[in-house]
Amino acid sequence: MQLQRLNDLLIEIQDRPFYRGRGVGERMPLTSLDDLASMSLLTKEDLLGNSAGDPARIFELPRTDYARLHQTSGTKGFPLTVLDTPADWAWWLTCWDYVLDAAEVDQDDVAMMAFSFGPFIGFWTANDALVRRGTTVVPGGGMTSQKRIQMIRDHRCTVLCCTPTYALHLGAVAQELGIDLSETKVRRIIVAGEPGGSIPSVRQRLETLWDAKVVDHTGASEVGAWGFGNETGTGIHVIETEFIAELLRFDTQYPEGIKAGEGEEAELVLTSLGRFGGPVIRYRTGDIVRGYRNHDQACRFLFLDGGVLGRVDDMMVIRGVNVFPSSIESIVREITPLAEFRIIATRVAEMDQLAIEVEAEVEAEEAVVEQLSEMVRDRLAMRVNVSAVPEGTLPRFEGKAKRLVDRRET
């Protein structure tokens, strides 16, 4: 089925300038999925237009064919503009159906959308998928966290959609207000945008805080909604009816990538099968995963144990140790579940260094610093400088959290 859909897609796009320049028409039709490896890998740099605001280069149909315009979060560089035709948008919602099925959402539910509803595509696709399913949707844009908590209580919301960071932040706000979130009607929390949904310490804290099941979700503006959390919350399934997944290792020995072994850390490479207005073929997502095709999960799709472990562009080598911000977050959440923190990377004499700032009450500062220092040393086999800062001094995030401050080049 994947091969048939892939060939249908390639036939559709073979005469478009972008993919014609990449030799797509020369290889048609493919006789095996293994033939896909003969095509060039696609990177985010390949997609960039000539200036900020230009759509990604894969969106080549007349502008009148597109009904939706969104932007990436712009975590690295300037935001990337993406477009969708009405058919492509319907495909996005089909992908989201897997996420909503995993969360057992139906028309009896009431969902709070705790987002600002800016140009980031994930908010809108989730909203429209819920509406199409018949779920009552409560839009949470343009209001404070306190007001959102009140709306959750007033409208007896059963589903919460937000980032893991923001679900924790709502917990901190509720604590200040003397509100017990476990007494609300929320029983499922769909999280996305950050790795937290599949980090055991973050997930456990959220489920305890809200007395609700956490369902993780993964996607990318330029690719689609490609993954959903498994039943036990220990990882992510790739939606293989809509995407072809490759797990490749990239290093100095294999700069073009080599197939990773079962359970080996690798970069996830995806081909979307249903977005004809802006297809990606062999796209390097930048997500580091550990994939298993032979597993005992109820769903037989490719299983990524632990979800997205980190980002290629966020990985740092500190004194010979590969470090991802998600690994540090997992440790922080075990010690102080609701506290905000940030990681500062610097470079001294050509050596990368890390420091961690974490918010703590005055009377708990010494204990938090000591415990966090010890756990980072034991878990990551390295020493970092940990310091406590007053509560409320670090930035809060409604969307994707930006807790890594990289000062290595300055």
Question: How many Å apart are CA 20 and CA 27, to the nearest integer?
Answer: 11
Residue whose pair of structure tokens reads 């048939």 in the numeric block: 4
pLDDT digits (tens, 9 = 90+) for 164-195: 888 988 998 999 999 999 999 999 999 988 77
Strands 136-139 and 265-272: unpaired
Cβ-based neighbours of 294, under 8 Å, separated by 6 or more = 262
Q: Residue 118 — φ and ψ, nearest 5°?
A: -85, -155
Residue 18 has pLDDT above 60, yes or no: yes
Please say if the pLDDT value at position 74 is more than 60.
no
**Residue 132, pLDDT above cutoff 60:** yes
Q: Which of 11-20, 102-111, 224-233 has the highest mean pLDDT?
A: 102-111
**CA 72 from chain center: how many Å?**
12
The pLDDT of residue 97 is: 97
Domain 41-311 fold = Rossmann fold (3.40.50)
Report the pLDDT value the prediction gives residue 78, as an integer from 0 to 100.
63
List of long-range contacts for 380-384, beta carbons under 8 Å, 24+ apart: 380/321, 380/323, 380/327, 380/328, 381/321, 382/318, 382/319, 382/321, 382/323, 382/354, 384/318, 384/353, 384/354, 384/355, 384/356
For a pLDDT cut of 90, what percent of the chain falls above it? 58
Q: Predicted confidence band at 73 (pLDDT cuts at 50, 70, 90)?
A: low
What residue ranges do the domains of the chain occupy? 41-311, 316-323+330-406
pLDDT for 311-340, tens place per residue?
887 777 676 666 778 778 878 888 888 788
So what's the pLDDT on residue 113? 95
How many of the other CB atoms lie within 10 Å of CB of 382? 14
Share above pLDDT 70 across residues of the chain, in percent, rounded to a whole number? 94
Global confidence as pTM:
0.82
Mean per-residue pLDDT for 355-382? 86
Pick 18 or 384 by higher pLDDT.
Answer: 18
User: Given this model, what pLDDT does residue 4 score?
Assistant: 96
pLDDT at 398 over 70: no
pLDDT greater than 80 at residue 395: yes
Fold of 316-323+330-406: GMP Synthetase; Chain A, domain 3 (3.30.300)
Check residue 198 and give its pLDDT: 80
What is the predicted pLDDT for the residue at 52?
Answer: 66
**pLDDT band at residue 14 using 50, 70 and 90 as cut-offs:** very high
Q: Give the pLDDT mean for 97-105.
A: 97
Q: How far apart are CA 61 and CA 39, in angstroms?
A: 22
The average confidence (pLDDT) of the chain is 89
**What pLDDT band is residue 383 in, cutting at 50, 70 and 90?**
confident
Report residue 349's pLDDT band, with 50, 70 and 90 as the boundaries.
Answer: low
CB 243 within 8 A of CB 271: yes
Statement: residue 348 has pLDDT above 80: no
Cβ(198)–Cβ(234) below 8 Å: yes
- Position 399 scores a pLDDT of 64
Predicted local confidence at residue 182, as pLDDT: 95
Least confident range from 10-14, 233-237, 275-279, 378-382: namely: 378-382
Distance CA 267, CA 227 (A): 15
Return the residue matching tokens 């249903």.
274
Asked if residue 320 lies in contact with residue 248, where contact means CB atoms within 8 angstroms, the answer is: no
In the prediction, which pLDDT does 147 show?
Answer: 96
The DSSP annotation for 173-222 comes to: HHHHHT--GGGSS--EEEE-SSGGGG-HHHHHHHHHHHTSEEEEEEEETT
- The secondary structure element, H or E, covering residue 286 is strand 283-292
Average pLDDT of the residues in 293-305? 95
